[in-house]
Amino acid sequence: MVTHITKATSLSPERLKQVLQSAGRMDARNSCTMLPNRIVALLFYEASTRTRLSFESATKRLGGNTLTMSEAKQFSSAAKGETLEDTVRVISGYADCIVLRHGSAGAAERAASVSQVPLINAGDGNNEHPTQAYLDIFTILKAYGQKRFTSEGIKILFWGDNENSRTVRSLAKLLVSHGPALGIQIRSIEFFGPNGFGVPPGDVSEALAGACNLMLHTKPPRLEDVDVVYVTRPQRERHQSGKKLEVVPFTLQLAHQLPRRAIIMHPLPRTDELPMEVDGDPRAWYFTQSDHGLLVRMALIWHLLQK
C-alpha cells in the first residue's frame, strides 16, 4: 500500500521514530547511493525556499533525481484550467514520489486520493505542513540529547500568528499525539499572539485540551520557565482584508528572560517578529532547525521509497 503524508499524524509514532532515527544517521555533506535513479517530483504552487530546496537536496544526496515545477500556478497546465487531480495523476506516472505545496487547505488529501506514488504534503494553505513538524520534533529531541531538557516535561509557547499558521497546527497536534512515544514529555502548551491572532483554530485547541495543560494568553506571558518558544510570522497572505495584525516581536530582551536551557525556534522565513539581534543568543536554534530539514527529508524519502 502506498503511504501518503498529508498530515503530521499520517505516520504512526513507531514509523516516525524510525524516520527520526534514520535522520540522525544521514550525512548532510556527502552524497550516497541509497536511492539510485529514483525520481521525486516537486510540484509547488506557492512560494518556497527551504522546503523545496531541502527536498531537492535530500533527493540528490540520496542518489536520486528531481523533476521541478516551482511556479505551478503560472506555468503548469493549471494556467489552462487543468484540475489539481489531473495534474497529480499524470505526474504520478512520471515520478516515484510527489512533493506538493498548494495554497488551498485540503489540496494534499485531494492529490493523494489520485496519486499512484507516495504524496508528501509540503504545506497546503493554512492546513498542515507535516515535514516541518517532523524536523521541529527532531530539533526538540536534539535539545533533550544535549541535556537541556529533563524528563519532567517541557513547556512550549507558540508566539505569533497561531490562528493561520500551518506549522503551528501540525506541530501542536503531533506533540500531543506522538510526543510521549518519541520521548517528549509535555508540561504545558501555551499560545500568545497579538489581536486575537494568537488563538489557535478550534481543531487544535480541541486536540490539545484533553491531552495537556493548554493556556491561551492575551498578554505576553512570563518566560522564566518556558523551554521552547516557537515564533511564527504574520501569515499576511492568508488574512481576511480588514483584520489588522500588529506584530509583537520576540526581542533579545525577551530572550534574556528565558531560562538558559530554553530554545527559540522559528520555521522561517521570518519578518519583523524575530529581530536579527536574537541570532547571537545561545538559545537561538532556528538555523539549526532549518539545517535539520535536510536530514529529516532525506530520511523520510528513503523510508517511503526504499524497495
Contacting positions for ligand NCD (CB under 6 A)? 50-51, 123, 129, 132, 166-167, 232-233, 267-268
> 45 or 149: whose CB is closer to ligand NCD?
45
Comparison of 48 and 115: residue with beta carbon closer to ligand NCD: 48
Cβ 278 to ligand NCD shortest distance, Å? 17
**Nearest residue to 200 (alpha-carbon basis) of 217, 186, 212:** 217
Residue 211: CB minimum distance to ligand NCD, A: 23
Beta carbons within 8 Å of 244's beta carbon, 6+ residues apart: 195
| 3-class secondary structure, 12 | coil
Nearest approach, Cβ of residue 132 and ligand NCD (Å): 5
101 belongs to the catalytic site: yes
Would you call 193 helix, strand, or coil by DSSP? coil
Minimum Å gap between C-beta 285 and ligand NCD is: 14
Q: Select 92 or 232, whichever has its Cβ closest to ligand NCD.
A: 232
Minimum distance of ligand NCD from residue 156's CB (angstroms): 17
Which one from 61, 102, 110, 129 is the annotated catalytic residue? 129
Phi, psi of 33 (to 5 degrees): -120, 40
Task: Give the number of other Cβ atoms within 10 Å of residue 280's Cβ.
Answer: 9
Verify whether residue 6 is a known catalytic residue: no
Q: Which of 237, 246, 232 is nearest to 204 (CA)?
A: 232
- Return the residue nearest ligand NCD (CB atom): 267
| CB-CB contact of 59 with 83 (8 Å) | no
The residue behind cell 535539545 is 143
15 catalytic residue (yes or no): no
Nearer Cβ to ligand NCD, position 38 or 233?
A: 233
Q: Concatenated DSSP letters for 195-239?
A: GGTTSPPHHHHHHHHTTSEEEEESSPPP-TT-SEEEE----GGGS
212 or 299: CB nearest ligand NCD: 299
The least CB distance from residue 230 to ligand NCD, in Å, is 11
80 among known catalytic residues:
yes
Q: Of 4, 38, 61, 101, which one is the catalytic site residue?
A: 101
Q: Please report how many Cα atoms fall inside a 13 Å half-sphere around the Cα of residue 91, on the Cβ side.
A: 29
- List, in sequence order, every residue forming a beta bridge with 42; answer none if it has no partner: 68, 99
* Residue 51 annotated in active site: yes
Max Cα-Cα span within the chain: 56
CA 145 to chain centre: 21
List the catalytic residue out of 6, 51, 131, 139: 51
Catalytic residue numbers, as ranges: 50-51, 80, 101, 129
